[in-house]
Structure formats: C-alpha cells, structure tokens
Structure 1
Amino acid sequence: MNEKTMTQLQERARAKFAKSGSTYFAIMLAVLAVVVILSNIGASKGVLFGPIITDGGFFLFPLAYILGDVISEVYGFKAARLAIIVTFALSAFASLCYVIIIALPGFDDDFGASKQAALEGALGPVPLIVLASLLAFLVGQTLNSWVLVRMKARFGERRLWARLIGSTGVGEFADTLIFCAIAASVIGITSFGGFLNYLVFGFLYKTLVEVLLLPATSLVIRWVKKREPSYAA
C-alpha cells in the first residue's frame, strides 16, 4: 500500500462534523427542548404497570437521548453542548412560568378553586421534577455526547453502532441515577425497594428503547449527513 493510498484511507476515517448553523440543527434543537419540557410534566405523575414503577414521562425521554446522539454524531461536542444549554435554559424558564401561573390570583368561585387545585396538583411538583431533570440531563447528555465524540475521534466514521450503544449506556445510567435520586420522593416513592425498582426499570427501559431504535437512529444520522452541505463525508 503506497503513501497516497494510506493518506486517502486516513482521511476517509477521520472524524468529521457539520456546522451547526443549519435548518436541520435548529429543528432538532426545537424538538429536543419540547420533548424534555413535556417529559418533565409527565414525570410528575407516578405510573404503575403491575410490579413496575415508572413515571408519566417514560415514553418521551428516550427520544431526547436519540436526538442528542444525532446532534453529537453529526455536529460534534460543541453543538451538542449548545443544545444541552439551550434546552436546560428553556426547561428552567418553563418551570418559572408554572410557578407564576399557579401564584396568579384566580376566580374565587367553586370552578376557579377546582381549577387552581388541579393546576397545583399537576404543575406544583414540576419545578422539583425540573430540578431533578436539569441536573440529570446536564450530566447525562454531556457524558453521552462526550463519549460518542471521543469514540468517533478514535474510529472516524466506522462503528457507528458502537458509538451509539456505548454513549447511551454511560449517559443513561448517570441521568437515571441522578433523576431518580431527586424525583422519587416527589412522585410518591418512599421505600428503598420502590426506588430501586424505579431506577433499574428506568435505566433498562431507556437503554433498551435506544438499542431497539438503533437502526432508525442510524438511518436518520446518515440522512442528515447526506443533506448537510458542510458535512464532508
């Protein structure tokens, strides 16, 4: 193998990223923020499937990590960090809005009182859930992105499946552990057995969803890469 061929192979394997100033990045960032905000609201409700304990945001949150994987793989760690910070800020802003909405004086008739009680019951716990989610999301998504990008720096465009699975395992475990430690008591989980159930199911479920959706995630990543003019694949 001559030097020119070696250079071409090295160039082909080198880690590449697109610029984040595109429409695709903006759309994924918007969807990521909406998914996280909605999952925070859903997480204020405890959910029981037989012996399995989870929360109402369980079906939404894996989507946040899938989007995080796509952003990290296509746009790199700096873009992923920007997405995390923006989503963090928007979630905090949404939580502040809930506090203000609940504090505003409502109608003093029976209907107004029932609406106020419903709002307090549904949105009152959300700021604490958001605190748990923000800390968990910040640590988990940062680790997820960092591991994925570091693996890409080592393997280049090869072994996408390994990057996605490896980063998911690290990020989801950190996220689930932090979130469950703070949020469990907020949604009514008071025993250690219940907490362990919540933690283990949350981690295994979210990780399994991402693994099962790996083919779809890979297709989305390839689709975005082909359509990003700045991605020199």
Structure 2
Amino acid sequence: MTTMNLALSHFSNESLWLLLLLANFFAIIISYRLFGKIGLYIWIPISTILANIQVLKMVDLLSIGVTLGNITYASSFLVTDILSENYGKKAARKAVFIGFFSLAATVIIMNIALNFKPNEFDFIQESLNNIFAILPRIALASLIAYGFSQLHDVWSYNIWKNLFPSDKYLWLRNNASTMVSQLIDTVLFTFIAFWGLLPNSEFVQILITTYLLKWIVAAIDTPFLYLAKLMYDRSMISTEMDED
C-alpha cells in the first residue's frame, strides 16, 4: 500500500466523495489555466474513460448504495458548459464527439488486448477481465446516454444563454441545462447498463441516488464555471497550445 493509499484509507466514504469532487473540478480548472481550450478537450477522454471504469464499483454513501463514477462523469458537463460559455456551441459539440471517440476506441483496443493469451508470469489478466470484459455493455449505455444528454446540454445551454445572456444569469443557464441533461443521462444509462443485472429494489435505489448525486455535483460545479469565466475574461488562460 502506497503512502497516499495508507493516508486515504482512514477517510470515510463521504469524505473521499468530497475529496474526489474537488480533485476533479480543480483538475479541470488547472488544465484550462495551463493549456487553454485544449486543456478542456483533454479532460473529456479522461472523464469518460475513468467514469466508465469507476461506475463498476459499488459503494455506500450515508448508508445508501451508489455506483462510483458519478462525479468524474458529471465533470464532463462542466467542461462542455465552459466551452459553450467561452467559445460557443461548436466548440462544445466538438468535445462531445471527442468523448464518443475516446470511449469507443478504449473498448475496441482493450477487448483485443484481453484476447492475448497470458504467459505463466502474468498476474493481471483476471483483473483486466473483471473491468473491461463488462465494459462493452457499460460503454454502450454510456455512449447512448452521453450522446443524448451531452448534445441536449449543449443545445439547452445555448437556448438559456440566448434567453438570459447577462453574466448574472450564468448560474441559471448552467443549472437549468445540466440538471435536465443529467436526468436524461441517468435514466438512459441506468436502464441500459444495469437493468436485469440487479434486484429491482437495488436498481431503483441506484437510479434515484445516481441522479441525486449528479444533481448535487451540478449545483456544486457552478462556482467553478464562474471561476473559468473570470479567468477567461481576464485573459488568464494560456493560448500557447491553441496558437501552435
């Protein structure tokens, strides 16, 4: 066990959830600050791939069973909202298609890798199978849910921005677009990924708690959108990579 893992092992699940949330959002802001618009595009494959691995892990938060991955997946909505706000609808839609490609490529490449016959010294094949052998169903659910919800989010954000263009309504267009999009995402993903795999009571609990957690994440990400907007307006964002 590494020093970091040893330290984190003393944290409760609730504390780790908050830590994971802050780690995701600050990583987005730092990536944006250092790499500009490219930094936001970088985050999209990170979030889509990690979230589809994390979602396989079941944890308890406040004695309620939930799937992990909600924070990392929901962070992609913050990215598309920043892109919509600062660069427009076209840039945000590009991020959605990057997410599609990165997840599809991961599924194809890893399933080819799984079919290599391991030699006598291999110790990781079973663990990889546990993660990536089920990934096609998770990935299909994620791709469908991601596509509908993210494209809705980009469309909806720009509708709200046209209706309420003032910066003082930034919170409104962020939450009004994301919270509806998260509902679309949660319903589609949960039914495709978990229907028939879990008892009905557990399935309904995951459906409700997943959306509730995503709703909370969407509300908490609002200050980070304001921060990204402030950084952009004050020319604090690196443009070096964009210029290259």
Gaps of 5+ in 1: 1-22
Q: Which runs of 4+ in 1 moved over 3 A?
A: 48-51
Work out the CA distance in 2 between the residues paired with 1:160 and 1:49: 30
Q: Give the corresponding residue for 1:138.
A: 147
1:119-130 paired onto structure 2 within 5 Å: 119-130=128-139
Work out the CA distance in 2 between the residues paired with 1:72 and 1:78: 8
Quote how far apart the aligned CAs of 1:51 are.
4.3
* Matched-pair identity in %: 26
Please tell me whether the aligned partners of residues 103 and 139 of structure 2 are also in contact (alpha carbons under 8 angstroms): yes
Q: Give the corresponding residue for 1:13.
A: none
Letter in 1 for 2:124: K
Task: Using structure 1 for the length normalisation, give the TM-score.
Answer: 0.80
* 2:163 maps to 1:151: no
* 2:208 maps to 1:200: yes
* 2:183 maps to 1:176: no
Q: Secondary structure at the match of 1:60?
A: helix
Q: Secondary structure at the match of 2:142?
A: helix
Distance 1:53 1:184, change over 3 A: farther
Quote how far apart the aligned CAs of 1:222 are.
2.3
Q: Give the corresponding residue for 1:224.
A: 232
The CA RMSD measured in Å over matched residues stands at 2.1
Distance 1:229 1:96, change over 3 A: closer
Q: Give the corresponding residue for 1:100.
A: 112
Letter in 1 for 2:75: L
Note the alpha carbon deviations across 1:6-35, whole angstroms, 9 max, x for none: xxxxxxxxxxxxxxxxx5211101112111
Q: Give the corresponding residue for 1:33.
A: 45
Select 1:63's aligned residue among 68, 75, 100.
75
Q: Give the corresponding residue for 2:18.
A: none
Please tell me whether the aligned partners of residues 24 and 224 of structure 1 are also in contact (alpha carbons under 8 angstroms): no
Quote how far apart the aligned CAs of 1:229 are.
11
Letter in 1 for 2:184: A
Larger Rg: 1
- How many aligned positions are there? 203
Gaps of 5+ in 2: 1-34, 240-244
Work out the CA distance in 2 between the residues paired with 1:82 and 1:168: 18
Quote how far apart the aligned CAs of 1:90 are.
1.0
Please tell me whether the aligned partners of residues 47 and 76 of structure 2 are also in contact (alpha carbons under 8 angstroms): yes
Note the alpha carbon deviations across 1:154-189, whole angstroms, 9 max, x for none: 222341111011001111000111111111248x4x
